[in-house]
Amino acid sequence: MIRLTPFLLIFLALAALPSAAHALSSDTLRVEVPETAKKQGEFFSVRVSGERTLPSLWFMERTYTLFRQPDSSWRAMVPVENLTKPGGYALLVRTASGERKIPVLVKPNNRKIQYITLDPSKQGLKATETEKTRVKAALLTESPEKLYTGIFLRPSPGRTSSLFGLKRSYDGGPVESYHKGIDISAPEGTPVKSTAKGRVVLCGTVSEGFRVHGNTVVIDHGQGLTTIYMHLHTIAVRAGQLVERGEAIGTVGHTGISTAPHLHWGTYLYGTSVDPQLFEGKSF
């Protein structure tokens, strides 16, 4: 004869009532978005708790990976692309036990539009396929381990000579591109430091075809966050190397398309550029 313990009996009773079990688990599902209004070039912080299996997350017809946190919740920092049309949107979270739709608002950041006339003779201004492909792939790196802790550092001393998000129209055409980082003006040879702990995923040089970016380093900080450092004079790291927050990765230069020595610093979430000023001096 089979003996049933009281615990097993309770389990069997719950299993026999699928609708009750469903209600139980959706009661524990929690989706938190502390700030539901963000500007272009910012990001929404999304946290899901009360779920054992990986939920799926959607924003503007794109899916974003949620990453497991030490408190066993799931988190994602969902970027709002700088050219997103301002207005109402929704974050959609789907789990085994239910679905949540969180209405959000995207506000304009009112960054200026720069009207640029291209000189047809300057074909050298075009990025090569090598740099485009390699940079894009590096910025899309999503590794599950969160390497960054503490506040994000400014990678170089010097004043900000150009803001993130300045919109660009070429030859009177529509605004299709923008400044994907900030420029920090500093003398050639000034040390450039990693903003946070991470793994070097790209070292590209002018001699390898980095004609526009110049000597470039990309660092993966984990959980969808990467940073880029461009126009470097020298590179002091290798691909695959783990770097600490504040570790020197190279020096300021003006390689690639750059008129004066400066550091172009970009921060990316899931391959989408967001404003580095959101990170500097902050922790997440």
Q: How far is the CB of 140 from Zn ion (least distance, A)?
A: 20
Give the number of residues in contact with Zn ion, rule: CB under 5 A: 2
Longest pairwise C-alpha distance within the chain: 91
CA–CA–CA angle 168, 174, 176 (5° rounding): 55
Q: Can you tell me which of 264, 275, 278, 279 binds Zn ion, judged by CB under 5 A?
A: 264
Q: How far is the CB of 263 from Zn ion (least distance, A)?
A: 9
Of the ranges 179-187, 189-197, 199-207, 268-276, which one interacts with Zn ion (CB under 5 A)?
179-187
Q: Is 275 in the site for Zn ion (CB under 5 A)?
A: no
Q: Are 68 and 144 in contact (CB under 8 A)?
A: yes
Q: How far is the CB of 45 from Zn ion (least distance, A)?
A: 26
What residues between 84 and 143 interact with Zn ion by CB under 5 A? none
CB nearer Zn ion, residue 45 or residue 185: 185
Of the ranges 117-125, 141-149, 221-229, 257-265, which one interacts with Zn ion (CB under 5 A)?
257-265
Q: Is 167 in the site for Zn ion (CB under 5 A)?
A: no
Q: How far is the CB of 17 from Zn ion (least distance, A)?
A: 60
268: closest CA among 214, 221, 212?
A: 221
Q: Are 146 and 284 in contact (CB under 8 A)?
A: no
Q: How far is the CB of 46 from Zn ion (least distance, A)?
A: 29
Q: Is 213 in the site for Zn ion (CB under 5 A)?
A: no
CB nearer Zn ion, residue 63 or residue 161: 161
CB nearer Zn ion, residue 55 or residue 256: 256
Q: Can you tell me which of 42, 51, 131, 183 binds Zn ion, judged by CB under 5 A?
A: 183
Q: How far is the CB of 175 from Zn ion (least distance, A)?
A: 17
Q: Are 252 and 186 in contact (CB under 8 A)?
A: yes
Interface with Zn ion (CB under 5 A): 183, 264
